[in-house]
Chains A and B, each alone.
Chain A
Amino acid sequence: MTEHSEKQWIESAAAKPRNIFSEEIVAVIIFIIIALLPIFITGYPIYILPQYMLFGVLAMSLALLWGFVGILSFGQAAFFAVGAYTMGLAMQTNFGVNSGYIGILISPLVGGALAAITGYFLFNAGVKATYFVLVTLALSIMIEQIAVSQSDITGGWNGMYIDRMPLTFGSLGEISLYNDIPVYYAILPVVIAMYAFVRWFATSRFGKILIGIRENEDRMTALGFNISAYKTGAFALSGAIACLAGALYGAHANFVAPSLGGVLFSTEVVVWVAIAGRSSLLAALLGGIIVASLSNYLSTVTPDYWQLVLGIIFILVIVFLKGGVAGAISDLSKHLQSKVKQ
């Protein structure tokens, strides 16, 4: 078996260019399609799509953690909600400059700091993966409860209204984002930039070390890498990205409620990433967009059974496609390439 797969590997390595379906090319094509969508579609889909793109970024923040470092977090929604609340509070405050910009600047710092503090104590204590999952689960519950109980600040169960920020350019004027099209084209570039940044990060020195930690923690320790510091760094970055996505989400949805940070939504994020494939950032991004859209669609078509349908898809993917849909596609393309070579 090994010999066979080795032969396959040698053949696929010999085939240059290495892989026509390299992630960057696929990403460019998909972003162009998303950018052109408003020409062909109007109405509700174009209104809601930016929110799903931000769900995609949230999923990507989990893939960075789960796929690259091998740490599963059930607390990503907590950071997303914290971002939305941060944006809401920023919009209520007069900073003398565009409050939306302040919200966008502060939210990743808040998310990063929250994750860094949590991660610092957990990873330095040598907490194992399973316990980390439980603590992040608790984090989700805590954030939801705080959002409920601190109703003076957060509006409690009623949630918080968030005014949609305009794009201001100093003395050059400003663009209102109240309409669907301008806000669509305001959020899309940010999503692309965040994808590009995380993708770059994953191939950086830090990203490579994270992969090393996922592959063999004992070896990395014995080579002199301070594992807990790197894990804390990865968790902080993941929290910062989730929080920034949440801030933009809040601004777009004009509203945030405690349930946005809850366990249920956190679990959904894990489901998106598991279905899409955690080892690919692009897959996670698209998984967030597509599965969230699908959930929305199914909930209107069959309000009683949509969660069941999603659950069945989830189980099927977990059982039959270990690497998620992205893993299956990557295996298939490798298989096809080796076939073509023969």
Chain B
Amino acid sequence: MALEYDRLNDDTIAAAATGLAEAGIGIIRISGPDAIGIADKIIMLRQRNRDERDLFSGKKRKTLFGMPSNQIRLAYVVDPKDGRVMDEVMVSVFRHPYSYTTEDTVEINTHGGVYLMQTILELVIQNGARPAEPGEFTKRAFLGGRIDLSRAEAVMDLISAGNEFSRRTSMDELRGSVSDKVKELRKEVLYEIAFIESALDDPDNYSLDGYPHKLEEKVTRIADELKELIIYAKEGRILKEGINTVIVGKPNAGKSSLLNYLCGSERAIVTEVAGTTRDTLEEKVRIGNAILNITDTAGIRDTEDVVEKIGVERAKKAMEKADLILFLLDSSAGIEEEDRRIADLINKEISRGKRCILLLNKTDLPSKITQKQAQDLFRFPNPKPSPESSEKRINNYRSITFLTCSLKEREGLDRLKKLILEMFRAGEIMEKNEVFLSNLRQIHEAEKAEEALRLVIKSIQNGLSEDFYSIDLMNAYTFLGRIIGEAVEDDLVEEIFSRFCLGK
């Protein structure tokens, strides 16, 4: 429990202040001692009369530290890892104590949209903030004394409502299999800790001979199961928000036919969400349970030929943002230089975990490309799907999958749709829509738990003794507990006494 409070005012938190919803505008709020510093890592203020390239090179850059309080400025969100611009935003800085939370606060007005906000929020977290708990901004406002003590009673209601809410939502979301799963994994971890502790406390009675090997197997399995939950959660998010899809291929490979086919035949939802200042256009297409956001960066109403019109550079950008790349090869034309260039780009994306389907189009015409030739374009041919674990299954799709089709004859296209649904586990996950770790905080805790378990495995492999495992096992136990909102307290001592016969 103590772990919860120590974070009260010493760290910086971030969350979507407007709720993650499909709306025209969404605000991401960062609050805490390092709010400005963290935001400054990812925000580039737009400066008048400056070449944009200068702006991003960091030369004579205006920082957020120099920005006056309580004003709003045009800026870009840039991923510091690769300098990629993610969104054009409006940004405000509120300095301690004149902010909602009384702490230094930065608010980023984004272009809304769940996926975009999520991506920016994740970037903020990667750069040092922690996902806020439900109601935590209000809690900080309270702790900062912004809200009068005479209203403390009312505020406490709010805070406990916040806690209650988080408990209830987490219980709602976890009701059923996932909650049971986390509890079960947690129990297994606790059992192992208790066993180690008992053996250390009473070495005459409990031997640890051969134990590390058994533990390694068990912890590996638990970590894998956790990984699966995390993947489920992330896949689930993609599904909820739509699969960002890009169609690539050289001119005349059949891109527009594919787009038209996908839009035309299944116009369950087709909306055009034009960003207010961005030159992008999204086609939303429903396939079974999944929504594809087919993004085209070519410009308004230009839905054709990414490569043709905007060149390889733009195709590259589109692919970076995508969850799914559909690559069309004209089988009647043979493999050309342009195909190779696209394939190289795809190789890079696949190594980052993207999924790609290669469509060998025009099977109605005589083929000049063998499957082998097509496969040789890629460094990551698809391994055989194995039924062992869904993690493996999902990872298998983190590579390229081949399909042959004829858009003209409408052949092989049902298989394409089925494949997309399968790749993103749409059927399975949508059914469990209510039960996976759906908020970022939970995913974050699950990831920390998994990391702690991997450290245990590392300690075992490095030949360290049992007492070292328990440090990280205990951390894993704590993080798992936070997912389902259970207190740690004296569980361990209880477990030791109930399971193991100790003492004289």
Q: Do A and B come from one complex?
A: no
